[in-house]
Amino acid sequence: MNKILITGGAGFIGSHLCERLLNEGNEVICLDNYFTGSKRNVVHLLDHPFFEIVRHDVTMPYFVEVDQIYNLACPASPIHYQYNPIKTVKTSVLGAVNMLGLAKRIRARILQASTSEVYGDPEIHPQPESYWGHVNPIGQRSCYDEGKRCAETLFLNYHQQNDVRIKIIRIFNTYGPHMHPQDGRVVSNFIMQTLRNENITIYGDGNQTRSFQYVDDLLEGMTRMMNSREEFTGPVNIGNPGEFTIKELAEKIIDLTGSKSKLEFLPLPQDDPTQRKPDITLAKKELDNWEPKIQLQEGLKKTIHYFDDLLKNNLVGSYGRK
Ligand code: NAD
Ligand code: UDP
């Protein structure tokens, strides 16, 4: 049994990770400030004898004795990370400093949830880990992109300078139950719009692409990375190489929900990447042949079912941005 700290544990990905690690027999501490997460995501775990929940902000130091730290705290959707861009940078950078300081002191392994956004609007396709990226340092997305890039730098520096036991994964667009229903991300937006028979908001011409990964596939890659050989620090891409245009995604969701929604074309936000697809050769090699197993259609069905339940039970309002 490991004792594990998950920052951002009440968020979309963090809450699934809490559940999985508890089911595997670990003791889990979920730390969150509930900026975009919700107690609702972990309420079913509260009776578990080896689960603890802590209200805390990672920009402040925190001390606990654990074996492993998963550092997930950071708003991930453009509307949430752009709401208070200075706080977003602080969360990534000060959060990394505080958690790395903790890992150094207690000799814990620490995994950073980095992002495909470190590649920006990529000129190389698909993106391998060796690509340095094409990021605007002063655009609308830079508080997130540059914050995450700086966090990667800090992870490597703490490893090289202080021998901290680090792991870095670069997560590509991930979706599934527990996503915030109003976070503005494409999968949650399109599903909510189709379930309400509202227009589907396509930004730009809808020909930009993304590669969508179901959350269970991410958890498998993430936990394999945490427990991989000591010398393998990453960064390693964890994503589904299946690539779709945003218009194709909209059509698939209309089809699966049987909705009457129509497509509505709106202006493309600044610096919106035109294409994104992970090269997962390194993950396959280092993580025991890891590769995503869940096809888009299957993952979307599970996610639609979740949002449908939220709507039917009038629970959408319980996910607030604080
Ligand atoms: P999310 O917004 O659902 O989860 C983030 C969690 O962090 C929330 O519970 C939020 O309340 C918490 N948080 C935010 N700021 C905090 C702070 N200062 N102190 C403590 N807690 C704080 O998003 P998610 O999709 O679950 O993302 C989790 C992590 O994975 C993030 O670091 C994100 O950057 C990364 N990631 C996600 C994706 C994706 O497609 N979902 C892709 C790439 C990277
Ligand atoms: N998008 C869209 N309509 C929406 C929300 C998003 O067309 O209602 C587009 C967005 O412009 C981007 C893609 O979908 O090209 C993915 O957006 P998301 O915010 O989910 O993730 P990211 O851009 O960070 O990959």
Question: Residue 186 has what pLDDT?
Answer: 97
* Residue 318 confidence (pLDDT): 66
DSSP alpha helices (H): ranges in the chain? 12-23, 78-81, 85-106, 142-162, 186-195, 215-226, 246-257, 281-286, 296-312
Please tell me the number of the ligand nearest to residue 212's CA: 1
Task: Give residue 83's pLDDT.
Answer: 96
- Token pair for residue 280? 């997962």
Helix (H, G, I), strand (E, B) or coil at 23: helix
Q: Ligand 1 centre and the CA of 252: distance in Å?
A: 26
Supply the pLDDT for residue 320. Answer: 53
CA distance 227 to 2: 11
Coil/strand/helix, residue 52:
strand
Distance CA 111, CA 284 (A): 18
Angle of helix 186-195 versus helix 246-257 axis, rounded to 10: 30
Contact 171 CB / ligand 1 (< 6 Å): yes
Give 260 Cα–ligand 1 centroid separation in angstroms.
Answer: 32
The one-letter amino acid at 43: V
Report the alpha-carbon distance of residue 280 to residue 172 in Å, rounded: 11
Residue type, 75: P
170 lines ligand 2 (CB under 6 A): no
Homologous superfamily of the 3-312 domain (CATH): NAD(P)-binding Rossmann-like Domain (3.40.50.720)
The catalytic residues are 144
Which residue's CA is the nearest one to ligand 2's atom 13? 186
Contact 68, 4 (CB under 8 A): yes
Q: In the structure encoding, which two tokens stand for residue 192, read together? A: 């909510």
Domain boundaries, the chain: 3-312
**Whether residue 145 has its Cβ less than 6 Å from ligand 1:** no
Q: Is the CB of 253 under 6 A from ligand 2?
A: no
pLDDT in tens, the chain (322 residues): 999 999 999 999 999 999 999 999 999 999 999 999 999 999 999 999 999 999 999 999 999 999 999 999 999 999 999 999 999 999 999 999 999 999 999 999 999 999 999 999 999 999 999 999 999 999 999 999 999 999 999 999 999 999 999 999 999 999 999 999 988 999 999 999 999 999 999 999 999 999 999 999 999 999 999 999 999 999 999 999 999 999 999 999 999 999 999 999 999 999 999 999 999 999 999 999 999 999 999 999 999 999 999 999 887 876 655 3
> According to the model, what pLDDT value does residue 322 have?
38
Q: What is the DSSP letter of 76?
A: -
Q: Is there a contact between 92 and 150 (Cβ–Cβ < 8 Å)?
A: yes
CA of 159 to the centre of ligand 1 (A): 23
Residue 202 CB–ligand 2 contact under 6 Å: yes
Ligand 1 atom at shortest distance from the alpha carbon of 13: 26
Are the C-beta atoms of residues 243 and 211 closer than 8 Å to each other?
yes
Q: Is 211 exposed, middle or buried (0-12, 13-18, 19+ CB in 10 A)?
A: buried
Measured by CA distance, the residue closest to atom 29 of ligand 1 is 72
Q: Whose CA is nearest to atom 6 of ligand 2?
A: 186
